[in-house]
Amino acid sequence: PLTDPFLTILGADGQSVTTDDDSGPGPDARLSFAPETSDTYYIQASGLGGSTGAYRVSIAPQAAAPPHN
């Protein structure tokens, strides 16, 4: 497996929206992302320090936040 995964969410323009290195268990990356606009986003998975290996990306819907009053 990938020894030090790094995740990036990219906007439609290819610019980084958010990143994560070690929020998952151990050195694993974990991102929670709630887009503020309807648009196209890309997930980029890479390894830090030149690490390589297999990885798995999972996407799950989350409950919507309550409206701001």
Rounded to whole angstroms, how far apart are CA atoms 61 and 69? 24
The answer to whether 66 and 38 are in contact (CB under 8 A) is no
Q: How many CB atoms lie within 10 A of CB 63?
A: 5
pTM summary value: 0.80
Distance, first Cα to last Cα, the chain: 45
User: What's phi and psi for 48, nearest 5 deg?
Assistant: -80, 155
pLDDT digits (tens, 9 = 90+) for 47-63: 998 888 998 888 888 77
Region 2-17: mean pLDDT is 94
In angstroms, what CA-CA distances link 41 with 36, 49, 65? 12, 25, 20
